[in-house]
Chains A and B, each alone.
Chain A
Amino acid sequence: MKKIIIAGFLAAIIIAVFISPFASKHPDGLEKVAEDKGFLQKGEGKELFNAPVPDYSMPGIKHETIAGSIAGATGVILVFALAYGIGFCVKSKGRKVERSKKKLT
């Protein structure tokens, strides 16, 4: 089990750090439709707050690719921690045995 956790985590980090610089810079489906149909401006300046790492680019780092890669790695770690944490809290309400019992029947 440990192996797959490490392998899976590394795969996510590799995708976020080394493959993300090659991602297409074109607008996504919704953005493109908003542009074509003329409602893109409805979202401009409407953000409720300024996120710490806007647009997957770590602020304060001049090199664009590196800023993106660091942002990606940060996101992978945060998402992993939050999802793991939610799972840990939810399951720890004490049903350790139940699932393995179910499998036997």
Chain B
Amino acid sequence: MHIPDGFLDTKTWVALTAVSGTAIAVSLKQTGKTLGEKQVPVMGITAAFIFAAQMINFPVAGGTSGHFMGGVLAAILLGPYTALLVMATVLIIQCLIFQDGGVTALGANIFNMGIIGAFGGYFIFSVLRKFLKNDKGFFVSAFAAAWLSIVIAAAACSLELSISGTVPLKTSLIAMTGVHALIGIGEGLITVAVLSFIKKTRPDLLES
């Protein structure tokens, strides 16, 4: 769902760049307070894994593909602030080195996949965890948060495109959320698979 240059008008991309820039500044500050020495390599690995996994487009219905986003996975592993930095890192390299996502749309892409994925996804996960407490609840919450984060990000993307005058909301909203409801299943499955692997091999990484 990387938005290219040309899809967003100036007011929309400037506003979203400001929002994402602020969120990154806050996250740098918060991460400085909480990030332990041992978590620095985990941050690097999480970002590298998410970048690699985002290259793997899997087919969904009707000649469309989708790929893993990773915001919820990163947030469960590292907390939402560090996760936002991880997502921003991936999106900045994708944009500047691989022309995946526009430069003007970078703020919007960080908003949709980073802020909604990491902050929004983590919020959903935390709320669900209050009701679903055991191990099974952990994975159910992670799956639901991952799925919802994709669908909400797709809706936000539609909204941004309509505010920009690119395509009316009623034209794109159902199409965007519909296809991403399918892609979100992949997101949930990959998130749960990686978390269960980590829980088996390095449960200490999931303690906090």
Q: Which A residues contact B (CB, under 8 angstroms)? A: 1, 4-5, 8-9, 11-13, 15-16, 19-20, 22-30, 32-34, 36-37, 39, 42-56, 71-72, 74-84, 86-88, 90-91, 93, 95-96, 98-100, 103
Summed over the interface, the residue pairs from A and B with CB atoms below 8 Å come to a total of: 228
B97 and A52 form a contact (CB under 8 A): yes
Residue of B nearest to A26 (CB): B65
A83 and B89 form a contact (CB under 8 A): yes
**B residues near A15, Cβ cutoff 8 Å:** 49, 52-53, 55-56
B56-89 contact mask (Cβ, 8 Å, vs A): 1 or 0: 1111101111110000000000000010011001
**B residues near A23, Cβ cutoff 8 Å:** 55-58, 65, 67
In Å, the complex CA distance between A100 and B119 comes to 25
Interface residues on B, range: 35 or more
Q: List 26 A-B contacts (CB under 8 A).
A: A4-B201, A9-B48, A12-B51, A23-B56, A25-B57, A25-B65, A26-B57, A29-B154, A29-B179, A30-B1, A33-B176, A46-B102, A47-B102, A52-B97, A54-B98, A75-B55, A80-B47, A83-B85, A83-B89, A84-B41, A87-B41, A90-B31, A91-B31, A91-B32, A95-B32, A99-B37
